[in-house]
Amino acid sequence: MKKALFLFSFALTCMGCVAKDEESKTNPKSVQKATQIDFETAILGGGCFWCTEAVFEKIAGVKEVVSGYAGGKIPNPTYKQICTGLTGHAEVIKIVYDPQKISFEKLLDVFGDAHDPTTLNRQGADVGTQYRSTVMYLSESQKTAALNWKAKLNGKFVDPVVTEIVPAPKFYVAEEYHQDYYDRNPNQGYCNFVIRPKLKKLKLE
């Protein structure tokens, strides 16, 4: 009797599996819809991209951070070229994030805490237009959020916020050795004396 009940239960389970399998074949979107995440992108620059990358890689809801260059006059710039400050590019990061876990507005709040938005073309000892504070918006909603963020931030500082808010230009991925720089070089001098204290200040390490 127990054996018969077991076989009957097993048969029902198999039938259910077959039914689900057939549904996924006839309606593959039903499976895709359950797992698909609509990630969004933000482009921010706040000084050396080694710093900003290290910060945002530790933020919940951020899927990927890529260091690169944007806003200059020549295509496919190299690090050596942008370091002259003559190409017009800024060191920026492209952030791919899940808007269901973190909003663009929250990313801007982190950005404001992670650098000094009141120093023109400078962050600490890093001086030049390539280190300017910039929000490169990809939509009108990002533009509005950035303008509101800047206005709010101006009320917190004695000096004016100089962060530029501009339409996103073409983004160029930086050389491979710049990617995940802090994780790859945790004991390098810049990482020890600049990045690590910043992460500790933000309570990210």
Query: In the annotation, is 48 catalytic?
Result: yes
Helix axes 2-26, 28-35, angle to 10 degrees: 90
Distance, in Å, from the CA atom of 144 to the CA atom of 62, rounded to the nearest integer, reads 21
Q: Which of 48, 51, 83, 191 is catalytic?
A: 48
Q: Under a CB-based contact definition with an 8 Å cutoff, are residues 138 and 42 in contact? A: yes
Distance, in Å, from the CA atom of 65 to the CA atom of 93, rounded to the nearest integer, reads 6
Distance, in Å, from the CA atom of 138 to the CA atom of 43, rounded to the nearest integer, reads 8
Task: Give one DSSP letter per residue of 38-100, joined into a string.
Answer: --EEEEEEES-HHHHHHHHTTSTTEEEEEEEEES-SSSS--HHHHTTT-S--EEEEEEEE-TT
Distance, in Å, from the CA atom of 76 to the CA atom of 79, rounded to the nearest integer, reads 10
Task: Give one DSSP letter per residue of 138-205, joined into a string.
Answer: SSHHHHHHHHHHHHHHHTT-SSPP--EEEE---EEEPPGGGTTHHHH-TTSHHIIIIIHHHHHHTT--
Active-site residues, by number, are 48
